Amino acid sequence: MFKAATIASKEAYSYDMGIRLGEALIEKLGQLPGGCWLFCAPGNGLKELINGIGDAAATQNLIGCTGAAELSSAGFSTRSAVLGGIASDQIEFEVVSVKNIGQDSEQAGKKLAGLFSSRVRNIQLFSDGITGNGCALLRGINSIMEEQIPITGGTAGDSGGFNKSWQFAGKKLLSDAAVAIGFKGEFRVGTGVQSGWSPVGLPKKVTRSSGNKLFELNNEPALNVFKRFLGKHAEKLPAVGVEYPLGFYSSCGSGDKDDHFLLRATMAVNHEEGSIIFAGDVPEGTMVHLTCGDKTSILEATKKAIRLAVDELEGVKPAIAFFFSCMARKTVLGQRTKEEFGQVNMELGKNIPILGFYSFGEYCRVKSGGPCYFHNESATISVIGI
Amino acid sequence: MMQNNRSQDKKIAELEELLEISERKADILTNLLKEASAEYEQTLEKIRISEANFRAVFEYAPEAIYIVETDTRKFLECNPFMLTWLGYTRDELLSMRVEQILESGDGESIQKNIEKIMSDGFIHIQARRFKKKDGSTVEAEVTGTLLDYQGRSCSAALVRDITQRKKIEELGRYKELFENVSDPVFINDAQGRFLEVNDVACEFFGYTRDQLLKMSLRDLTSPGHLSELTKMKNKKISKGETIQFELNLLTRDGLTIPFEFQGRLIIHKKNSAFLSVARNLSFRKELQRTLIRTERFSAVGEMASGVAHNFNNLLQMIMAGAEVAKSKLLSGKIRDCDEAIRIIVNASHRGADVVRRIKDFTHAGKNNIESGTVFDLNALVSESVELTRPLWKHPSIPRKYQLKVIKGPNCFVKGISSEIYEVLVNLIKNGLEAMHQGGTLIISTYTLDEAVHLAISDTGCGIPEEHVQRIFEPFFTTKGSQSSGLGLSSCYGIIKKFQGDIHVKRLPDQGTEFTVIFPLAKPEETITKAEKILETQIPIRFLMIDDEVNILRSMEMYFEDSEIDITTVSSATEGIRSIHENNFDVILCDFGMDDMNGLEVGREIQKFYLKNRLKKIPFLLYTGLDKQLDAKKLEESGIDRVVNKPTSCEDLLNIIRGVIAGQRKG
């Protein structure tokens, strides 16, 4: 038996609102949920909201975070709260969390992974996108967990304020934390990730970098290189860098020609150093390209990602789809952002519940059975099939 | 209306946004394109320059460059130098495979090389010989690398002709050789003229470099070795062959030094020449001589126990004879007594012979007479058979060996008998040693075609075929460390010295036969024993000085029946006093005495005669010592003659009579 449902609301956050949301979910599900997801914009009364939901749903398995926009079966929304739930006798859930990821994300990842039981077969991860290092967090997790366990998710944001983001685990309202939910039981998972940006121009070598800070390209200050590309538009950095992210080929372990092309979005610039900070690590020695994309290619990519996820199910019926897209895509798509949801709907069918949010960065594997990577500006989807 | 406006405004805003985005994109893409274009141009330019450089190097390099396909080993490209160097046209070479221009034998390694490049990426420098179109070969160094050329996997090679360099190196090597070797080094032309000599050669021979360069090897060769030199000159030497030969050379001071030459043909200033290093053999030859002498002594040593046995026998005979004589005398049986005394005398003679033989044998080679004298070979054979008796007739093995001697008539040979004696002894010894289990040794002499043949055959183990050629080589031996291997080689040397020859033959059944051949000599006056001089009536006043009382006693007893009026004294001092106080006709003085030796006595007496203006009396020195006494010393001491102990009383009597007779005549 498997039931899933989503509820969306634009009401102000309060305990009562939480109760109402929770009860509405139970009604839709017809029973108490085994696991709940909450994605919402940051705002006052978050703690009360969570308490309300938790009391109403009578579950500790509540997970979620703040983002730039929300997705539910009702569609694309901003400045809202969406609550989703799964009730099933085939799937059980575990919720774990770890704090202070800003200090040492890798260590935090190891700790987080260690909290899961061995029966967990699928993980969704939501971490602080402002303080945490997604790549490092993944490294920590990957060093403990088996590579075949799919990890999907995204990093929490605050609608582009870059001040503070929130993560929810049970009734805990956390920040600078990583929260994760583990799926145990009988189910299939299909994942897909695509961006829609393509490399342009000649590649350049990262001659000096540190984590997500890029100092030099071809022994030249990175900022100078970017200014050359962007010309007069360089004034708009880092924002314009979101439209033209940096990209490089990851080696997916097999070293084949269809290496996945990872993107990195500009987050900040330092004019004195001539350096640029990205939303993900840019390793030294990597050959990077500037990339270019448009609305059409972005939406095409969304479609492709969904198809990849469904294909991976190999005929097993999708039961619920989790869609984690990027704030950057929202920026580029603008008015057409809701078309992403349209793509998901179209590909999966209107009956399949959809739940997700627009993040600062996405977690997803690039091939079945392969390790999880940290992406920027990508559409990631994970479909549970029963 | 307002709604329409609002929606229019919205649309305009959207369009404006789109336009902005598009403009931005256009700008950025244009910038990227510009950059790409610039880089492309730069790269093209780099390629153009690189191409031009490559072309320049390729076309004008003073070394050969070629490219071969790694699979087929066919030439794909080569530079002009390669063509001129090997003498092929471009079409010819590009239709060939690389192994066709390498000297045979190098073919397999080409494949290995190519495999190596493909794994390493480059060949290390290798020396290779290349074949030119005209068939000649050149030495070169090759280095190469892998590259893609015309879409094919190829190896490119750079070839450097090192013929010149090798020549210079060789010259450099010669220079080193010349300057650093401590032996004389020469370079001669085909006529033997010196083209180059080192400092050592100049110093050694006592000439300046300029002087030597005006001379030839012939000028330095000792006259006796000119024939050797001619032989060497006529000898055909092949390229790369090192030859060895011995040659005696003369220094400027006239010193003859034996040298061993080691040399080979070289190219010196474009012509064929002979480079040689000469090693002074003086030391080695001296060493050989010493070794031979040592062997001789050790040979004597081998015979020592036999000799001692011999002496014991003789002593036995003498003792027994003396006792018999005594008893027969007492019992009045004079004839028997005489018989016994004869035995004693005989035994004493034989003892003297043994001593003499050994002395002769050990002193062989000390004689400075080059040509030698004529002597009877048969007599020498007998002597050597007697000397070696302890070896073939040892009491412990009385019947082990059979020795047969067959003497032919008139076997007279010219040479130094003591040296040829050594040859005989050596050959007899070798023959006996070859017969471990015993056997027969046959020695025979005969004349044939104006030559004297001496054959010594044994029934021993024989000499293996492969050794027959080598037995006369110095140091060659099959007897292990016990033998110096010099015995037969010194025999060979001695035989050759006297224009003889020696052959060795393997006998059909078993054993070996050595045949020594000497030119037949005319018998000259032979050595005679002391002639028997008849007794005269005139008494001879004879003084004998010897500290051995027994000798004096027997002399007194012997001489009392003759015309010799003998006075004996047992010390040098007494002797001198006696001479001062008495007149004597002849004096015999022992050499080794306690108070003074015979030479000192002689000198004292000389002074006495001179002082008193007296006529010198014949003064004979009586000595049993081995030492050859210096003729000058003898003269200074007034010694007229040396009488060797042991000398029989009869011989002494004859000597005294002879001396007096001579005096009285003169």
Between helix A295-313 and helix A338-348 the angle, nearest 10°, is 30
Chain A positions contacting chain B at CB under 8 Å are 200-202, 228-233, 240, 243-244, 290, 292, 294, 334-335
Residues 6+ apart with CB under 8 A from B112: none
d(Cα B70, Cα B84) in Å, to the nearest integer?
A: 24
Question: Does position B364 have pLDDT exceeding 60, yes or no?
Answer: no
- Whole-structure pTM over 0.80, yes or no? no
Chain B CB contacts of A225 under 8 Å are: none
Residues of chain A with Cβ-Cβ distance to B24 below 8 Å are 233, 240, 243
Q: CB–CB of B485/B495 below 8 Å?
A: no
Q: How far apart are CA A72 and CA A350, in angstroms?
A: 12
**B397 interface with A at CB cutoff 8 Å:** no
Question: What ipTM score was computed for the predicted complex, to two decimals?
Answer: 0.77
Q: State which residue of chain A sits closest to B39, comparing Cα positions.
A: A202
Give tens-digit pLDDT for B269-299: 878 888 888 888 887 777 777 776 676 666 6
Mutate which of A198, A217, A229, A294 to test chain B, going by most B C-beta atoms within 10 A? Answer: A229
B 12-51 residues inside an 8 A Cβ radius of A: 14, 17, 21, 24-25, 27-29, 31-33, 35-36, 39
| Higher pLDDT pick, B174 / A326 | A326
How far is it, in rounded angstroms, from Cα A338 to Cα A218? Answer: 39
Q: Can you give the pLDDT at residue B528?
A: 47
Check B32 against A290: CB less than 8 A apart. Answer: yes
pLDDT at B47: 82
Q: How far is CA B615 from CA B80, B102, B610, in A?
A: 109, 99, 8
Q: How far is B33 from chain A (nearest CA, A)?
A: 7
Is the pLDDT confidence value at B226 over 50?
yes
Average pLDDT over residues B514-534: 70
Q: Inform me whether the pLDDT recorded for B174 exceeds 50.
A: yes
Q: What mean pLDDT, rounded, does chain B reach?
A: 82
pLDDT of B11 higher than 70: yes
CA distance A201 to chain B (A): 5
Confidence category of residue A253, pLDDT binned at 50, 70, 90: very low
Position of tokens 């978050």? Answer: A46
pLDDT for residue B461 is more than 80: yes
| A200 contacts in chain B (CB < 8 Å) | 29, 32
pLDDT above 60 (res B366): no
Residues contacting A155, CB < 8 A, separation 6+:
A126, A127, A128, A129, A132, A134, A165, A359, A360, A361, A362
pLDDT tens, residue by residue, B546-580: 988 888 888 888 888 888 899 999 999 999 999 99
The band of B472, judged by pLDDT with boundaries at 50, 70 and 90, is confident
Beta bridge partners of A383: A190, A321
Chain B residues within an 8 Å CB radius of A205: none
Cβ-Cβ contacts under 8 Å, B25 against chain A: 292, 294
| Nearest chain A residue to B22, by CA | A294
Asked if A244 and B28 come within 8 Å (Cβ–Cβ), the reply is: yes
Over the stretch A233-248, which tens digit does the pLDDT of each residue have? 888 888 888 889 999 9
DSSP letters, B216-248, are: BHHHHB-GGGHHHHHHHHHS---TT--EEEEEE
> Residue B319, SS3?
helix
Contact flag A292-B25 (C-beta cutoff 8 Å) = yes
The pLDDT assigned to B210 comes to 92
Sequence-distant (6+) residues with CB within 8 A of A186 are: A90, A91, A386
Condensed to tens digits (0 to 9), the pLDDT of residues B42-68 reads 888 888 887 788 788 788 878 888 999
Q: How confident is the model at residue B91 (pLDDT cuts 50, 70, 90)?
A: very high
pLDDT bin (cut points 50, 70, 90) of residue B388 is confident
The lowest-confidence range among A244-253, B112-121, B447-456, B588-597 is B112-121
Q: Of the candidates B14, B17, B28, which has its C-beta nearest A229's C-beta?
A: B28
Between the CA of residue A161 and those of A43, A99, A164, B650, what are the distances in Å?
Answer: 12, 21, 8, 152
Comparing CA positions, the residue from B634, B632, B603, B608 lying closest to residue B621 is B634
Nearest to A125 by CA among A368, A114, A117, A113: A113
The residue of chain A nearest to residue B28, with distances taken between CA atoms, is: A230
Mean pLDDT of A109-124: 94
* β-sheet bridge partners, residue B566: B542
B32-43 residue pLDDT tens:
888 888 888 888
| B29 chain-A contacts, CB cut-off 8 A | 200, 292
pLDDT of residue B266: 84
Instruction: State the Cα–Cα distance between residues B83 and B133, nearest whole angstrom.
Output: 10
- The answer to whether A67 and A77 are in contact (CB under 8 A) is no
Taking only the tens place, the pLDDT of each residue in A168-183 is: 999 999 999 999 999 9
Which DSSP helix (H) or strand (E) runs through A139? helix A134-144
Residue B20: the pLDDT is 87
- Closest to B35 (Cβ–Cβ): which among A228, A232, A243? A228
Chain B contacts of A230, Cβ < 8 Å? 27-28, 31
Q: What is the pLDDT of residues B603-641, one digit of tens each?
A: 999 999 888 888 888 999 988 765 667 778 888 888 888
Q: How far is A290 from chain B (nearest CA, A)?
A: 9
Query: CA geometry: angle at A349 spanning A346 and A355, to 5°?
Result: 90
